[in-house]
Chains A and B, each alone.
Chain A
Amino acid sequence: NAGVTQTPKFQVLKTGQSMTLQCAQDMNHEYMSWYRQDPGMGLRLIHYSVGAGITDQGEVPNGYNVSRSTTEDFPLRLLSAAPSQTSVYFCASSSKPPGQNSPLHFGNGTRLTVT
């Protein structure tokens, strides 16, 4: 099993550009989520999904869009990149929402720099 796969591993964008971070899991997990990690800030939840066709906002959703057309894929779109979005992005999945005693499985992360 590949687990959670994120692409790309690294990305440099110019301010105003848009792009999509890809996330795919092969564990048939219903719950998927996106976090960003900044120094001293821990992991902050951007968006999450409890199943195909269902998404909701986390604590820092502004500037990001998500969709969940299949169980396997949960892409994160940056609409107009800003330097404040420079961060490491992690996608995570679990068989049930974490509050239902299900651990999160993380991808290897995407390191994004916006200049």
Chain B
Amino acid sequence: GQQVMQIPQYQHVQEGEDFTTYCNSSTTLSNIQWYKQRPGGHPVFLIQLVKSGEVKKQKRLTFQFGEAKKNSSLHITATQTTDVGTYFCAGRYNFNKFYFGSGTKLNVKP
């Protein structure tokens, strides 16, 4: 089953509103990666977090890794229609197995 829990499953926002998706694990992660999948497309790597409490920014996107390295979040400020898609977190549980969360599907109304 899913080892990485991600919420919410869906989020509908008005263009200009903020958006946040959360990723939670019951065990400590060595790192966490975030991916974006546009409708009909394939997942594309966004960023990786490695250090406890790490915060990284990419323009309007802010990524955080929890102090205990068991949770992470992606926050988008002032969403745009180009942000539409599904956002996945993914983390490592043993040496070579990399598990994805169930994803958060974001819809942005213009």
Which residues of A pack against B, CB within 8 Å? 31, 33, 35, 40-45, 48, 50, 56, 58-59, 90, 92, 97-99, 101, 103-109
Contact = CB atoms under 8 A, between A and B. Distances in A.
Contacts of B50: 101
Contacts of A92: 43
Given A97-B95, A98-B33, A44 B100 contact: yes
B97 A45 contact: yes
Contact of B99 (A45, A101, A109): A45
A2 B1 CA distance: 33
Contacts of A58: 97
B2 A42 contact: yes
A104 to B, nearest CB: 6
Interface residues of B, number: 26
A104 B98 contact: yes
Contacts of A59: 97, 99
B42 A42 contact: no
Nearest to B46: A103
B60 to A, nearest CB: 21
Nearest to B43: A106
B82 interface: no
B31 A106 contact: no
A109 B42 contact: yes
Given A105-B45, A106-B44, A42 B96 contact: no
For the complex of A and B, the 4 pairs showing the least CB-CB separation, nearest first, are A99-B92, A103-B45, A98-B98, A42-B102
A72 B42 CA distance: 20
Contact of A43 (B30, B88, B97): B88
Contacts of B42: 90, 106-109
Given A45-B98, A50-B96, A104 B88 contact: no
B103 interface: yes
A109 B39 CA distance: 13
A31 B104 CA distance: 26
A101 B101 contact: no
A105 B6 CA distance: 21
Given A59-B99, A106-B42, 17 more contacts: A31-B96, A33-B98, A35-B100, A41-B2, A44-B100, A45-B98, A45-B100, A58-B97, A92-B43, A97-B95, A98-B92, A99-B92, A103-B33, A103-B45, A104-B33, A104-B90, A107-B42
